[in-house]
Structure 1
Amino acid sequence: MDKQKIENKFIYFISLLGMVMILVLIAYFFFLRNVEVDIMDNAQYTYVGENGNASVVVSAKQGELNQRMQDFLNSVKYEVSPSSDLSNGDTIHVTATYDEALANQYHYKPKSIEADVIVEGLANRYLALQDIPKTLIQDGRNAALDYVKENQDAIYKLDGKEEKTPSLDKMKIVYSAYLKSNQKKNSDRFVYIVQMTYDSEVLYYMVCIPNINDSNEIDTHNIYGEKAYLTQDELDGKDFNGYVDRVYSSKYQIEQKK
């Protein structure tokens, strides 16, 4: 009987010891062990602009990370040199600083706090209208018409009209062109003049789509427009090319899309 009690106590203490060891291991792996964090491996690079005229911002990746890791990465600050006038093949030097108190609190051991990175993937400008894919040209036309349709009420009231906007019975593109910039700081763009018919009233509206390059994407977030204030002679002769030339020829080479 005494032997059975001893065996039971032994099993109890062994089980208790096992549970304590498991708790110690859990505490070590989740709370006490220093975990290496690769700072540069968790950096994301956001480029704005095109080959030869791009800038870059480096920030911490956002993703499916645990809250502690995301909090720490959000404390990281990146500095880049150079950060502007970038071209494909350039080398940028990235350095990072982080919240040391937070790293100690979470038992993180940061590594790779600086790196040299080669710039790649920047879009190039097209040399001429003939080089632009037909699909991109069609996407531009569709985007211009969508923009006008979505803003038809605001467009009608540009001149201060206060009455209810009549129905837009018809809209069509009467002029389109590719504008190639003479200056590096200005992007190449598509320009359209849209004829809009509200009941019997006709007005002309110009839509501009910037950042046309071989990324072959329409930058819908930066489309803008303005009323086309044609002179009476331009209206009488439907001289849309003359109007666009008057507005843009000092800064762009204009290729009309026939």
Structure 2
Amino acid sequence: KLGSSGSVVINLDVKICDDKGNELGQGEKGEIVCRGENVMAGYWKNEKATKETIRDGWLFTGDLGYFDEDGFLYVLGRNKSLLISSDGEKYSPEGIEETITENSKFIDQLMLYNNQSPYTTALLVPNKEFVLKYIREKNVDISSVVGQDEVIKLFKSELDNYIGNGKFSQLFPERWLPSSFAILGEGFSEQNKLLNSTLKMVRGKITEFYSGRIEFMYSAEGKNIFNNQNRNIVSRF
């Protein structure tokens, strides 16, 4: 089936488990757990990691997924990178982040954040070249509040494509789209160790490094995207 990873092959057992290791039913999302002759027996000379990953002969993959009514497996993303809402629902952010950056020439990188919070937020890395070109065409001064707010409106309009009557509004549940965002002055890279060697975001390090900006987005002032922190970053483009 399109979008699935297929059905389970012979000599392999796969189940979906909750955080406590209990097996879940059809359609329920949880960690993908498997066992079989072709599944690794453990990590080489790393007993601690093996014990954390292999339990009673089952490999806990760290991936989130579910089975549909026909037994097809759907992989949703890495368990450790999941967004978690205030009511405990989980969602993989990678698909949203990739879709937004692929469809916007103004947004180079985006990391969504929600750790049992009332709403989702985002750290946004702009494409300064295209933003400055846009500002020149609008004939506004980026050193002014009016010009800075024009840039913030631009990013908002890009994200608004995914909610309400936006052209991509049916792609993702709105609760996982950012209600607020923090514009960053520097991108994620291998040099600043916020990307790994495969150019994937190191979410834990990014969250720690920008903890102040993230915390601010959950304040009354920070939830309003037209705040002085965002304006200050834009003024330095």
Q: TM-score scaled by structure 1?
A: 0.22
TM-score (norm 2): 0.24
Q: Which has the higher strand share?
A: 1
